[in-house]
């Protein structure tokens, strides 16, 4: 049993070998990550429409639980931008922002998401996440970045505005432009400009001034902390909060509370689909970060156990005043670069944040929302990558269509419809591309045993033998295509006496395709034409042998195409074909 | 333009070469088919819940229009059992049987179905019908046969009963058993037994008595006509209609009327999905009959033009008092066997039915509904084929699941949910089976250039070179599977210095899989392991060349696996791998 136990509790594995060196490295990483997380957690809570402390709480219990159940050594779990946006969109549909019902619904969303992830993990259904293709994810994240940045403009301008789609947001912003608060605007624009400079200009500057790459990187990541400190001091010193600058205000000075997610059937029904969506998107993001970091140290990630780790983290968030969380890219990379060796680094980060929650919350009273909005805008604009449109266009039109549709629908119809349409469209496009497989008529390359496309190469052919190489598995979506194709080719070429299907690239034949092959066989027999197969793969052949198809075949199965050719071609008369 | 014109109007092709011999053959076929169609048309109208004349009308204009636009020489279009059942189910949801609204809704259904089929044909979207896999069709038709036979029991027992699912029907029948009309029961059971005997016993008997196969077949097909004549005379002679035997009653003595389908937005919205379903199922049935018959004479069927032909037939039905139609199996085979050479046979059949509609309708006044029900029961029980369950079980569990779910859901939830679930399930099962592709680790067969699975064959391997043959196209559903697999294998085998992906069966790599390969490449580089490809197909290579993947590849692309083996294996040290 210990092996099974350590599968479900990876902490038993790394915990046993924990030593002083690992402790030191983990502590250093934890300090760095904690400092970075304080403003980030507050900002993402703002984005999710929740009180600022929810962001801090969502980083404490979840980190601890992931440290126990997760398999990645470096993944840092907590609120992230895209999941915060999805939370705002889902919870905004069932409750008014700022009400108690809103916070409870966010807990429910985290609870449902956690339960769903744990279920997927226990039943080892992680592969379901693969339905989200890379183009759909890329399109969705780019569109989300644009939506998030737009949603923060109201804080930077100091106006009221609402909406969940780009058009609603921009319309609402424009209609409120008259109410711009000039001081808020100055703070917001200055903070944004500063943070952009930190990201683009500071790091090269520090390197030129002789700083090491790690130090330069950490200083850059500390940019938001500097912006927070300076703008908070400015608001406090000049009494700007009384002049209309929105600030974070009073945050409870306490450890995460024990909370109970709302479980009314109505609420659960309304939040179930968004919870599944958040789970899957969060999981996909998290697993790719975890895999990338693990590979750098030749470590192993168990995707199904990751589901359990992330599920536990979300359940933790649901019962401690948080909201849906996942493994974040930026924080995990900082954690990894800062030298974290084990998930204990996460536990120390949680402790650091708990101290901050108890001791430091009064200090953020005068922190302007505009500064938090600026940190969000600068962070998410790095997610926006429209080059994916150009890349997929040049690679494959089907992938381009999936990206473009996902971006367009996410921006105009909202995050849920956007990603759902993307998934459905990529499945349909896949079915469509495989519905008309590449089929080449092949002939013998003179002097060899190889067969190549007659349109591309100068090859030997025989008008009585039609050899088709099918470059696709045969299944229901393309089964009838094959029927039509063979019938067309044979009725065109009246001399044809043998059809050979070269199956070297046919990885599977499903029951529909089997019936199509039977139909082709009968129809060719009616036309007095033989049907032969060559180079059938082992697993496919095993399956065909369980049927009567091979007995009824009006022709032969050849191990190699060359055998088929020598047996069928270049003979004077083969009217006796059907042997 | 004449070529394009004759593509859309196949009649211009065969009409030009029409001669006396074809005329004679077509006339003979038409007489035989007309006699068979009269009771069948009345019976299917009863099944669809429509007045009997609707069945006759649905066989006149549609046959003529198909003769002009269709490409099959032998297909006979008209009411068929499964489409009649679907009509009853769809129209029953918007109107009460027996009302004028019911008949109008049936016209609307035919009109929508016709418009949809024409659209598919004009935009050459016939391949969409391929989403209906053979197991789903087989399961659906079997379940429909059971449903139809059950729905007719009420006519044979002479009771009232309702319901669209098996449970509803059986429950309703049981609760009405007290009201059985004994005379109806005798007629119904006698007719059913007689028709079963005609089907099973008469043909062999006639053959033994020296009749030719065609004559025996036609006599067998005329069985329903005999049952109709005998039971009608019995009801008339003994005045049974006054003793509670339900009869067809008065049928208007007229040519098909000009009718207008209802086009209120509400009605159209309610019938749109059923119309699409009927179109697709009707098309799939029709095209497979047409292909089978065409193959026997080495003729060509154009699936997209078939859509236009069937669409025109349904539009014709909508404007002449009919209901949805399609190419029927039984009638087409009779037509073909009786020697029909061109679609003109269909035109003559239409003329015969028009004469019947004007002259013969008074004769069916005393025709008992029980006889019509008997003809339906006997006809549809030949559709029920539960052996498909056993066949798919032994061939592939995924196909079995699709059949079983379709049968079960069609019987218990109704035809629309049944077939829709079947389609969705077969797509999901396909994605699932391709999500975990067969991947074999291969080694060199001694003394050859061939590579085979190391688990099945005794082959040469090298612990530093891991060669994986992937037996599936790489696309988003299995992209992450590959990432996980390679990472697992490499972290397990610490000596591995080279990973070779043998791509002989990889027919396509989509953008998701490309990004996965890039991730694998970077991760392997981080582990100081080279990534190589071998036997990449032409079209796949063409596409990879449009990207930066090949430049960044931490290894090489080999034309053959043997080249890869000789370059990478059996050398003392290859830490300089990434060349």
Asked whether the beta carbons of residue B477 and residue A522 sit closer than 8 angstroms, the reply is no
DSSP classification of residue A445: P
- Given this model, what pLDDT does residue B3 score? 53
As a residue count, chain B comes to 579
Contact B430 A301 (CB under 8 A): no
For chain A positions 230-259, those within 8 Å of chain B (CB to CB) are none
Taking Cα atoms as reference points, which of A25, A28, A79, A26 lies closest to residue A50? A79
Degrees, nearest 5: CA angle B489-B494-B499: 50
Please check the confidence at residue B578 and state whether its pLDDT lies above 70: no
> Are residues A384 and A509 both part of a single domain?
no
Pick from B132, B392, B527: CB nearest A295: B527
Q: Using CB atoms, which residue from B426, B431, B505 is nearest to A476?
A: B426
Same-domain status, B368 and B448: no
- pLDDT of A575 > 80? The answer is no
Query: Which candidate, B186, B195, B219, places its Cα nearest to that of B368?
Result: B186
The answer to which of A560-574, B171-185, B332-346, B382-396 has the lowest mean pLDDT is A560-574
**pLDDT tens digits along A387-418:** 989 989 999 888 999 999 999 999 998 888 88
Task: Quote the CA–CA distance of A376 and A192 in Å, as a whole number.
Answer: 9
Mean per-residue pLDDT of chain B: 87
The alpha-carbon gap from B550 to the nearest alpha carbon of chain A, in Å, equals: 14
Report d(CA A285, CA A280) in Å as an integer: 9
Distance from A342 to chain B by nearest Cα, in Å? 18
> How many other C-beta atoms can be found within 10 angstroms of the C-beta atom of residue B96?
10
Q: How far is CA B110 from the centre of its chain?
A: 18
Q: Which residues of A touch B485 (CB under 8 A)?
A: none
Lookup: tokens for B264 = 């209120």
Reported as half-sphere exposure (CB side, CA atoms, 13 A), residue B101 has a value of: 10
Give yes or no for residue B117 having a pLDDT over 80.
yes
Residue among A134, A287, A303 minimizing CB distance to B476: A134
Same domain as B129, residue B55? yes
Sign of CA dihedral B72, B73, B74, B80: positive
CA distance B353 to B295: 29
Q: Residue A396, CB half-sphere, CA atoms under 13 Å: how many?
A: 23
Give me the residues of B, 420-479, that contact A with CB < 8 A.
Answer: 426-427, 430-431, 433-438, 456, 471-473, 475-479
CA proximity to A108, closest of A258, A307, A275, A325: A275
Chain A hits for B134, Cβ within 8 Å: 476, 479, 511-512, 515-516
Chain-chain contact of A512 with B292 (C-beta, under 8 angstroms) = no
Dist. CA A478–CA A439, nearest whole Å? 12
- B129 interfacial to chain A (CB closer than 8 Å): yes
Res A576 pLDDT > 50 = no
- Return the closest-CA partner of residue A399 out of A138, A144, A130: A138
Considering the domain architecture, whether residues A355 and A504 belong to the same structural domain is answered as no
Q: Which residues of A202-230 are buried (b: 16+ CB within 10 A; e: fewer)?
A: bbeebeeeeeeeeebbbbbbbbbeebbee
Based on the fold, state whether residues B394 and B476 are members of the same structural domain. no
With a cut of 90, say whether residue A184 has pLDDT above it: yes
DSSP string, A224-284: HHHHHHHHHHHHHHHTGGGGT--B------SSPPP------HHHHHHHHHHHHHHHHHHHH
Q: How far is B217 from chain A (nearest CA, A)?
A: 21
Q: Is residue A115 part of a domain?
A: yes
Give the one of A303, A433, A507 whose C-beta lies nearest to B484's C-beta.
Answer: A303
pLDDT of residue A457 exceeding 50, the answer is yes
Strand bridging mode B530-534 / B77-78:
unpaired
Are B476 and A132 inside 8 Å of each other by CB? yes
Per-residue pLDDT for A205 more than 90? no
Q: Of A291, A391, A484, which has the smallest distance from its Cβ to B483's Cβ?
A: A291
Element (H, E) at B561: helix B561-568
Given a contact cutoff of 8 angstroms between Cβ atoms, the answer to whether A13 and A6 are in contact is: yes
How far is it, in rounded angstroms, from Cα B85 to Cα B415? Answer: 9
- Measure in Å the smallest separation between the Cα of B288 and chain A Cα atoms: 9
Instruction: State which of B358, B383, B407 marks the end of a domain.
Output: B407
* Structure token digits, residue A146: 């644009």
Across the interface, whether the CB atoms of B130 and A471 are under 8 A apart is answered no
- The token pair at A420 is 């759902």
User: Is the same domain home to B298 and B171?
Assistant: yes
Whether the CA torsion B87, B93, B94, B98 is positive or negative: it is: positive
Nearest chain A CA: its distance from B543 CA (Å): 6
Q: Compute the distance between CA of residue A48 and CA of residue A511 in angstroms, rounded to an integer.
A: 49
- Distance, CA of B21 to CA of B27 (rounded, Å): 10
B430–A510 C-beta distance less than 8 A? yes
Q: Which two tokens stand for residue A213?
A: 């790459």
Pair A324, A87: CB distance under 8 Å: yes
A30 and A119: one domain?
yes
Residue of chain A whose Cα is closest to the Cα of B547: A395
Quick one: pLDDT band at residue A4, thresholds 50, 70, 90? Answer: low
* pLDDT reported for residue A527: 87
Residue A419 lies in a domain: no
How far is CA A224 from each of CA A41, A180, A227, A228, B289, rounded to the nearest angstrom?
12, 24, 5, 6, 71
Minimal-distance CA residue of chain B relative to A544: B395
Percentage above 90 pLDDT, chain A? 37
**Chain B residues near residue A481 by CB distance under 8 angstroms:** 127, 130
Q: How far is B154 from chain A (nearest CA, A)?
A: 36
Determine the pLDDT at residue B4: 66
Rounded alpha-carbon distances, angstroms, from residue A116 to A85, A110, A122, A123: 20, 10, 10, 11
Q: Is A207 on the interface with B (CB under 8 A)?
A: no
The predicted pLDDT at position A404 comes to 94
Is B397 part of the contact surface with chain A (CB cutoff 8 Å)?
no
* Residue ranges making up the domain that contains B527: 439-568
Assigned domain for A423 exists: no
- Which residue has tokens 């912003």? A173
Segment B83-109, tens digit of pLDDT:
999 999 899 889 988 888 999 999 999
Cα radius of gyration rounded to whole Å, chain A? 31
Q: Are A409 and A422 in contact (CB under 8 A)?
A: yes
Residue B238 has pLDDT above 60, yes or no: yes
Asked if the model's pLDDT at residue A462 lies above 50, the reply is: yes
Length of chain A: 579
Label residues A149-172 b or e (16+ Cβ within 10 Å = b): bbbbbbbbbbbebebbbbeebeee
Contact assignment for A395 to B437 by CB distance below 8 Å: no
Q: Are residues A392 and A486 in the same domain?
A: no
Q: Which residues of A touch B546 (CB under 8 A)?
A: 394-395
pTM value is: 0.78
The pLDDT of residue B1? 41
Cβ contacts (< 8 Å) between B484 and chain A: which residues? 291, 303
> What value, to the nearest 5°, has the Cα angle with vertex B153 and ends B147 and B154?
115
Q: Does B507 touch chain A (CB under 8 A)?
A: yes
User: Is A398 within 8 Å of B515 when comparing Cβ atoms?
Assistant: no
Query: How many Cα atoms are found within 13 Å in the side-chain-facing hemisphere of B189?
Result: 8
Q: Any idea what the CATH number is for the domain that residue A551 is in?
A: 3.30.750.24
Tens digit of each residue's pLDDT (9 = 90 or more) over A315-357: 999 999 999 999 988 788 888 887 888 888 888 999 999 998 8
Q: pLDDT band for position A3 (50/70/90)? A: low
Residues from chain A that touch B543, judged by Cβ atoms under 8 A, are 395-396
Q: Which chain A residues have a beta carbon less than 8 Å from that of B71?
A: none
pLDDT at B576 over 50: no
Cα separation, B15 vs B68, whole angstroms: 10
| Average pLDDT score over residue span B147-153 | 90
User: Do B504 and A507 count as a contact with CB atoms less than 8 A apart?
Assistant: no
Last residue of a domain, one of A390, A408, A426: A408
Token pair of B222 as six digits: 């005329």
pLDDT band of B572, cuts 50, 70, 90 = very low
The count of CB pairs under 8 A between chains A and B is 209
Number of H helices, E strands in chain A: 26, 8
Same domain, B446 and B359: no
Cα distance between residue A406 and residue B509, in whole Å: 21
Task: Tell if the CB–CB gap between B473 and A476 is shorter than 8 Å.
Answer: no
Separation in Å, CA of A162 to nearest CA in chain B? 34
Q: Which residue of A has its CA nearest to B135?
A: A512
The rounded Cα B385 to chain-centroid distance in angstroms is 15
Domain total in chain B = 2
| Both tokens assigned to A525 | 């027999």
C-alpha to C-alpha distance for A197 and A560, rounded to whole angstroms: 65
Are B505 and A477 in contact (CB < 8 Å)? no
Backbone angles phi, psi at B104, to 5 degrees: -65, -40
The reply to whether B130 touches chain A by the CB within 8 Å rule is yes
Nearest CA in chain A to B299: A491
| In a shared domain, residues B447 and B384 | no
DSSP string, A5-38: HHHH-THHHHHTT--HHHHHHHHHHHHHHHHHHH
- State both tokens at B293: 């018959």
B-chain residues within 8 Å CB-CB of A476?
Answer: 130-136, 426, 430
- Whether residue A249 sits in one domain with residue A109: yes
Q: Is residue B576 part of a domain?
A: no
For the segment A210-259, what is each residue's pLDDT rounded down to a tens digit?
888 777 777 777 788 889 999 999 999 998 988 888 898 888 888 898 89
Residue of B nearest to A470 (CA): B507
Residues B7, B148 within the same domain: yes
| Per-residue model confidence as pLDDT tens digits over B431-460 | 888 888 889 899 998 888 888 889 888 888
DSSP class of residue B124 equals T
Distance of residue A330 Cα from the nearest chain B Cα, in angstroms: 18
Q: Domain for residue B430, yes or no?
A: no
- Tell me whether A489 touches chain B (CB under 8 Å): no
Q: Could you say which of A135, A487, A512 has the minimum Cβ distance to residue B291?
A: A487
The reported pLDDT for the residue numbered B570 is 66
For B1-43, what is each residue's pLDDT tens digit?
Answer: 445 676 677 777 777 778 888 888 888 888 888 888 888 899 8
- Answer whether residue B117 is part of any domain: yes
Interchain CB distance below 8 Å, A511 and B134: yes
Q: Which of B436, B479, B511, B543 should one mutate to test binding to chain A, selecting the residue with the greatest count of A CBs within 10 A?
A: B511
Nearest by CB to A435, from B127, B298, B437: name it.
B127
Q: Is B415 a member of any domain?
A: no
The ipTM estimated for the assembled molecules is: 0.78
Cβ neighbours of A548 in B, within 8 Å: none
Residue B420 corresponds to which tokens in the numbers above?
């829709």
Tokens of B509: 């790599």
B357, B391, B407 - which closes a domain: B407
Q: What chain B residue is nearest to A506 in terms of C-alpha separation?
A: B505
What lies within 8 Å, CB to CB, of A571 at 6+ separation is none
Q: Does A505 touch chain B (CB under 8 A)?
A: yes
Span B540-568, average pLDDT: 91
Could you tell me if B48 and B350 are in contact, meaning their C-beta atoms sit under 8 angstroms apart? no
| Residue B254 domain flag | yes
């Amino acid at each position: 049993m210990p092996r099974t136990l350590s599968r479900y509790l990876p902490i038993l594995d790394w915990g046993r070998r924990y030593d002083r060196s690992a402790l030191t490295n983990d502590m250093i990483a934890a300090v760095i990550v904690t400092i970075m997380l304080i403003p980030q957690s507050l900002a993402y809570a703002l984005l999710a429409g929740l009180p600022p402390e929810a962001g801090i709480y969502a980083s404490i219990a979840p980190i601890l639980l992931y440290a126990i159940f997760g398999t990645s050594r470096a993944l840092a779990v907590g609120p992230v931008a895209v999941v915060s946006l999805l939370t705002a969109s889902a919870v905004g549909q069932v409750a008014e922002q700022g009400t108690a019902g809103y916070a409870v619904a966010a807990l429910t969303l985290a609870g449902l998401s956690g339960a769903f992830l744990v279920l997927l993990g226990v039943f080892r259904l992680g592969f379901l996440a693969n339905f989200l293709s890379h183009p759909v994810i890329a399109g969705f994240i780019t569109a989300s970045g644009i939506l998030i940045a737009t949603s923060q403009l109201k804080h930077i301008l100091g106006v009221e505005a609402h909406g969940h789609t780009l058009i609603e947001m921009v319309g609402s912003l424009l209609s409120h432009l008259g109410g711009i608060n000039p001081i808020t605007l100055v703070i917001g624009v200055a903070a944004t400009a500063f943070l952009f400079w930190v990201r683009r200009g500071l790091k090269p500057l520090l390197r030129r001034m002789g700083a090491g790459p790690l130090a330069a990187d950490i200083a850059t990541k500390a940019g938001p902390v500097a912006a927070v400190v300076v703008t908070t001091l400015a608001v406090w010193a000049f009494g700007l909060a009384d002049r209309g600058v929105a600030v974070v205000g009073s945050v409870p000075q306490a450890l995460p509370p024990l909370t109970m997610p709302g479980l009314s059937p109505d609420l659960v029904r309304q939040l179930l689909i968004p919870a599944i969506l958040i789970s899957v998107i969060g999981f996909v993001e998290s697993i790719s970060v975890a895999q990338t970091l693990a590979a750098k140290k030749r470590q192993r990630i168990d995707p199904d156990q990751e589901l359990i780790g992330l599920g536990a983290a979300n359940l933790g968030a649901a019962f401690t005043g948080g909201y849906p969380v996942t493994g974040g890219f930026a924080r995990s990379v900082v954690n990894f670069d800062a030298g974290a060796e084990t998930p204990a680094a996460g536990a120390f980060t949680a402790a650091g944040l708990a101290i901050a929650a108890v001791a430091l919350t009064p200090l953020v009273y005068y922190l302007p929302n505009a500064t938090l909005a600026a940190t969000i805008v600068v962070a998410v604009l790095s997610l926006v990558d429209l080059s994916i449109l150009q890349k997929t266009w040049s690679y494959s039109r089907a992938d381009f269509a999936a990206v473009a549709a996902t971006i367009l629908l996410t921006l105009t119809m909202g995050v849920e419809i956007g990603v759902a349409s993307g998934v459905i469209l990529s499945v349909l496009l896949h079915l469509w591309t495989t519905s008309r497989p590449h089929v080449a008529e092949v002939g013998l390359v003179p002097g060899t045993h190889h067969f190549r496309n007659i349109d591309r190469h100068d090859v030997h052919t025989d008008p009585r033998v039609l050899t088709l190489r099918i470059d696709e598995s045969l299944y229901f979506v393309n089964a009838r295509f094959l029927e039509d194709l063979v019938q067309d080719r044979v009725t065109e070429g009246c001399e044809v006496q043998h059809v050979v299907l070269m199956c070297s690239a046919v990885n599977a034949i499903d029951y529909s395709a089997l019936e199509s092959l039977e139909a082709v066989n009968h129809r060719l027999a009616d036309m007095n034409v033989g049907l032969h197969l060559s180079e059938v793969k082992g697993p496919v052949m095993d399956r065909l042998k369980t049927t009567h198809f091979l007995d009824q075949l009006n022709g032969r199965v050849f191990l190699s195409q060359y055998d088929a050719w020598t047996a069928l071609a270049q003979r004077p008369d083969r009217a006796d074909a059907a042997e």
